[in-house]
Amino acid sequence: MHIKYLEIQNFRRLKSVRIDLAKETTIFVGANNSGKTTAMVALLRFLVSKKFTIMDFTLSDWASIDRIGRQWIDSDQIPEMTDWEDFLPTMDVWLHVEKDEFSHVSHMYPMLDWEDGLLGIRLRLEPKKIEDLYQEFRDAVDHAESNNSKNKPVALWPTSLVHFLKRRMEGLFQLRAYCLDPKELKEPDEFNAKPQKLPEQSNALDRDFGELIWIDKIEAQRGFADFDSDHASSNIEAQKGEQSTKRKLSSQLKSYYDRHLDPEFTTGHFFKGCREVSERVDFLQ
């Protein structure tokens, strides 16, 4: 079993992307501000901590969320979850599961017609109860207006729905999991993911991935001693030279590529080594 795809929507700068994962190892490579860190944060938020803030919503959607807040202030109509669906952060996790592995995921995938292959679960951050979110926001706005001086009006909290969620989001939102239909999986359109729509009245699952997926994190700026460097030919020398060889992980990855993966670099060393061996053989003869 392995994660084949991740599709992330409405999470920070990632509006709608698919990430293909290799069966063994996947490395995110890209320019600064291209979304590598955001993708890693999404993994940790959705699969580990499950704690979010309004800052995890895509910034370009904030105006639309505030528009919902203004509609709530002007109307006594009970809101609908559909008003939020285009803005909710989601992660679709597509697993490739063999038949003999289905017992590990059967508790969260009750579809009886599933066969071995792709299995999809959507994790979505959404209001626990849309009515409670609506009422608490309206109460906070009414309280602010009643305490605002008519002679000297000031901007009291909350001035908008986003402003309200900056302080009160915890406890009003939660992460829920939903089954996805493998038959409805669509290929990305010019690198933009095309996540399927959840059917109306979709029921959330009682359980999520639990301990099925394990994630650990090493900061790219963290320093590590490179015990395989030329300056550390033995354990004792490595310990003595640890401070001098300690470098950022990002620098070490580049160094590793230069030494072991760069075709031009490794090929040059290979022929140099062959020449040295040949010269030594000639000398011994």
- Cβ pair 26, 114 in contact under 8 A: no
Across 73-77, 159-163, 176-180, 206-210, least confident range: 206-210
The residue written with tokens 């590990």 in the block is 104
Better-scored residue on pLDDT, 25 or 234: 25
Residue 227 pLDDT = 42
Position 185 scores a pLDDT of: 92
46, 34 Cβ separation under 8 angstroms: no
Burial class (CB in 10 A: 0-12, 13-18, 19+), 133: buried
Which domains does the chain show, CATH number per domain?
A: 1-52+89-126+174-208 (3.40.50), 53-86+129-171 (no CATH), 223-284 (no CATH)
Residue 252 DSSP one-character state: H
**In the prediction, which pLDDT does 68 show?**
96
> How confident is the model at residue 234, as a pLDDT?
43
Confidence of residue 25 (pLDDT cuts 50, 70, 90): confident
pLDDT score of 31: 83
* pTM for this entry: 0.75
Query: Positive or negative, the Cα torsion across 94, 38, 17, 50?
Result: positive
Looking at the chain, the whole-number percentage of residues with pLDDT higher than 90 is 45
Confidence category of residue 239, pLDDT binned at 50, 70, 90: very low
DSSP, res 75 = -
The per-residue pLDDT for 59 is: 96
Separation CA 182–CA 42 (nearest Å) = 22
- Give the model confidence (pLDDT) of 112-137 as tens digits: 566 668 889 999 999 999 999 999 99
| CA-closest candidate to residue 47, choices 195, 174, 215 | 215
Mean pLDDT of 193-197: 94
Read off the pLDDT band of 200 (50, 70, 90).
confident
Residue 111: pLDDT band with limits 50, 70, 90: low
What's the confidence (pLDDT) of residue 277? 45
What distances in angstroms separate CA 202 from CA 95, 164, 198, 199, 260, one per listed residue? 20, 28, 7, 6, 50
Peptide bond into 158 cis (omega under 30): yes
pLDDT in tens, 145-187: 888 766 666 678 999 999 999 999 999 999 999 999 888 999 9
Eight-state DSSP code of residue 213: S
Q: Are 168 and 139 in contact (CB under 8 A)?
A: no
